[in-house]
């Protein structure tokens, strides 16, 4: 081989490498079809539900404020700050059927129980309340052959007055486990109180993805963007040890946890408005799907070849119907847990409201399937 041909070969390899990298960074999702599955059927009046695949054919749903119903159709106060249910997988898009959440268990009790200093059992403290609201489903880190499941949730220690935040006193790490397959909901316990302090990002509270032996954990920054940490998963997928964590800071992974106000942790083109992050084999990319500002049901999508970016600017791909209650629509959430994992399609839900007979808001959770080109 001549020096000239060697240089040409080297140049061609560089060009090809650049083309492949560029292609990996320019995924442009396009909608092929949309299938309406109606509203999720539920015996409770529940707000802002997210989900996690619990076993091969069972999905765990975790929801925010939940209420039972009076015989006249009015919701019962006070709200329970969080609850959970199981569902099956959705039917085929050739015959879309309403998805049903399992009957509530332990009605009146929180799934993620409040801590001793959060005014348990319901969080009511004078004219304020502690909420324990989940922003995303628990991250499942290990499963057993008999249906045993180990998972974690990062829940904000948050106090509200109305809808105004009084304080966010860090984020606690809850462990969520099932000993075996069956109809009983998982058990939860506080594994580490204030795992993330009030001066740290609540990594894992805004989303999580398992990929290539790591748990990638996303949290909100003060300017409503995202930051990311990762933990190497061992044999049992435990997340309690902070020494296993790395943080994306100033363009590199580091063992030193940044402070909440560190501007070098912000991931460009991201949003911390409630959404979902997952890995798509179809696009060989991480995918973020979420909404914009209240009150609507607009869904945006952004992709990245790596968990830390670069993320593409989010593009609007679907707008859902709004309700006629006092809070028309919000909580745009994607559900990779309801799919076959190929990335060929995704399910979406959002919360819309309508008035009860007494004028209170009733929550409605539409379910839609989006197939990609």
Mean pLDDT of all residues in 333-361:
98
pLDDT band for 104, please (50, 70, 90 cuts): confident
Both tokens of residue 17?
């490498």
Task: Say if residue 18's pLDDT is above 70.
Answer: no
Say how far apart CA 68 and CA 74 lie, in whole Å. 9
The tens digit of pLDDT for each residue in 70-91 reads 999 999 999 999 999 999 999 9
Task: Say if residue 321's pLDDT is above 80.
Answer: yes
Contact (Cβ atoms closer than 8 angstroms) between residue 329 and residue 363: no
pLDDT band for 25, please (50, 70, 90 cuts): low
* pLDDT score of 106: 84
Task: Say if residue 204's pLDDT is above 50.
Answer: yes
Task: Say if residue 7's pLDDT is above 80.
Answer: no
Q: Give residues with Cβ within 8 angstroms of 26, minimum separation 6.
A: 312
CB neighbourhood size of 301 (10 A): 23
Task: Say if residue 211's pLDDT is above 70.
Answer: yes
The tens digit of pLDDT for each residue in 233-260 reads 988 899 999 999 999 999 999 999 999 9
Q: Give residues with Cβ within 8 angstroms of 191, minimum separation 6.
A: 152, 173, 174, 175, 240
Task: Say if residue 293's pLDDT is above 90.
Answer: no
Closest CA to 180 of 229, 147, 214: 147
Task: Say if residue 15's pLDDT is above 80.
Answer: no
Strand partners, 297: none
Closest CA to 153 of 80, 219, 88: 219
pLDDT band for 328, please (50, 70, 90 cuts): very high
* pLDDT score of 274: 82
**Size (the chain), residues:** 373
Mean pLDDT of all residues in 182-203:
97
Mean pLDDT of all residues in 144-155:
94
Both tokens of residue 15?
């060009």
The tens digit of pLDDT for each residue in 30-70 reads 999 999 999 999 999 999 999 999 999 999 999 999 999 99
Mean pLDDT of all residues in 5-11:
38
* pLDDT score of 23: 44
Number of domains the chain is built from: 1
Task: Say if residue 368's pLDDT is above 80.
Answer: yes
CATH label of the domain that carries residue 133: 2.115.10
Element (H, E) at 106: none
Task: Say if residue 12's pLDDT is above 50.
Answer: no
Mean pLDDT of all residues in 332-347:
99
Q: What is the rounded average pLDDT for all residues in the chain?
A: 92
pLDDT band for 217, please (50, 70, 90 cuts): very high
Enclosing domain of residue 69: 3-372
């Amino acid at each position: 081989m001549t020096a000239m041909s060697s240089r040409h070969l080297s140049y061609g390899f560089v060009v090809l490498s650049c083309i492949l990298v560029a292609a990996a960074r320019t995924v442009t999702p396009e909608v092929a079809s949309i299938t309406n599955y109606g509203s999720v059927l539920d015996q409770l009046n529940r707000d802002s539900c997210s989900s996690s695949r619990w076993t091969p054919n069972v999905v765990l749903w975790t929801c925010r404020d939940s209420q039972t119903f009076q015989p006249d159709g009015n919701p019962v106060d006070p709200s329970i700050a969080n609850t959970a249910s199981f569902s099956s997988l959705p039917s085929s898009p050739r015959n879309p059927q309403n998805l049903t959440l399992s009957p509530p268990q332990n009605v009146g009790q929180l799934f993620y129980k409040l801590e001793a200093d959060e005014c348990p059992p319901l969080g009511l403290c004078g004219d304020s309340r502690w909420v324990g609201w989940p922003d995303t489903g628990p991250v499942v880190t290990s499963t057993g052959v008999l249906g045993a499941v180990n998972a974690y949730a990062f829940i904000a220690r948050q106090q509200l007055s109305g809808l105004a935040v009084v304080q966010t006193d860090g984020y606690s790490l809850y462990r969520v486990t099932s000993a075996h397959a069956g109809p009983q909901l998982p058990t939860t316990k506080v594994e580490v109180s204030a795992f993330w302090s009030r001066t740290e990002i609540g990594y894992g509270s805004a989303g999580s993805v398992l990929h290539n032996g790591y748990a990638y954990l996303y949290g909100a920054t003060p300017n409503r963007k995202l930051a990311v940490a990762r933990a190497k998963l061992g044999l049992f997928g435990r997340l309690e040890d902070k020494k296993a964590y790395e943080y994306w800071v100033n363009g590199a992974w580091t063992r030193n946890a940044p402070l909440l106000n560190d501007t070098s942790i912000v991931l460009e083109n991201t949003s911390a408005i409630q959404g979902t992050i997952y890995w798509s084999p179809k696009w060989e990319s991480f995918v973020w799907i979420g909404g914009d500002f209240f009150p609507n049901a607009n869904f945006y999508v952004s992709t990245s070849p790596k968990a830390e970016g670069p993320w593409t600017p989010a593009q609007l791909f679907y707008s859902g119907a709004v309700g006629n209650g006092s809070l028309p629509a919000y909580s745009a959430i994607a559900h990779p847990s309801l799919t076959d994992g190929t990335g060929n399609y995704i399910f979406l839900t959002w919360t819309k409201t309508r008035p009860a007979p007494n004028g209170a808001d009733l929550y409605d959770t539409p379910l839609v399937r989006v197939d990609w080109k």
